[in-house]
Amino acid sequence: MIHTIRGVAVRQPLERHWHVARGWTMQEKRRYERVAFFCPIRLSILPDGPDLPANSFDISIGGVGLVAPISLERGQEVDVHFGLKNRCGQPAEESMMGRVAYARADEGGNRIGIEFLRTLQLESHPLLARKLKLA
């Protein structure tokens, strides 16, 4: 995709650009493409914190976007437990370790971006990989 920023054509498919006051440009960099993904989640706050319910809204091989009842501090490590279904429709769970990369409260709740500590792989997380069409 080609964007025009202040009269200059820029080709950066995984970056979004916003114009802000006084002509400054802010970039949101993405390493991996995201896909819409709605799933119940249980967040375990590490090392010994409580478990929190949450709901995802998108996922990539590098992380997950979610909405939670409370906000978390940037850098906080978490274990993300995804409530999934296997091929037979039975409840199944896969989990990924991550850290909070983004947190913002808005009218829809507390939006949190979790960066996985390791990229999602087909071999270790087949159900999540299938959602990303890695399988």
Q: Which domain holds residue 53?
A: 35-131
Same domain membership, residue 61 and residue 17: no
For 8, 40, 104, 108, the CA distances from 93, given in Å and listed in that order, are 46, 10, 27, 26
CA distance 111 to 70: 9
Same domain membership, residue 104 and residue 59: yes
Residue 135: pLDDT band with limits 50, 70, 90 = low
Pick from 74, 6, 83: nearest CA to 43: 83
Q: Could you give the 3-state DSSP secondary structure of residue 21?
A: helix
Instruction: Name the pTM for this structure.
Output: 0.75
Same domain membership, residue 125 and residue 59: yes
**Has residue 124 got a pLDDT over 90?**
yes
Average of per-residue pLDDT values in the chain: 81
* Domain at 107, CATH number: 2.40.10.220
Using one digit for the tens of pLDDT, what is the confidence trace for 58-70? 999 999 999 999 9
Residues 6+ apart with CB under 8 A from 7: none
Q: What percent of the chain has pLDDT over 70?
A: 77
Same domain membership, residue 103 and residue 70: yes
Same domain membership, residue 94 and residue 41: yes
Same domain membership, residue 67 and residue 20: no
Pick from 101, 108, 98, 26: nearest CA to 67: 108
**Has residue 88 got a pLDDT over 50?**
yes
Same domain membership, residue 22 and residue 72: no
Using one digit for the tens of pLDDT, what is the confidence trace for 72-87? 999 999 999 999 999 8
Residue type (1 letter), 107: E
Same domain membership, residue 65 and residue 12: no
β-bridge mates for residue 82, sequence order:
41, 94
Residue 47's pLDDT is 93
Using one digit for the tens of pLDDT, what is the confidence trace for 94-111? 999 999 999 998 777 899
Residue 25: pLDDT band with limits 50, 70, 90 = very low
Same domain membership, residue 61 and residue 7: no
Same domain membership, residue 121 and residue 59: yes
Same domain membership, residue 1 and residue 43: no
Residue 29's pLDDT is 56
Same domain membership, residue 53 and residue 93: yes
> How large is the average pLDDT for residues 32-58?
93
- Number of domains, the chain: 2
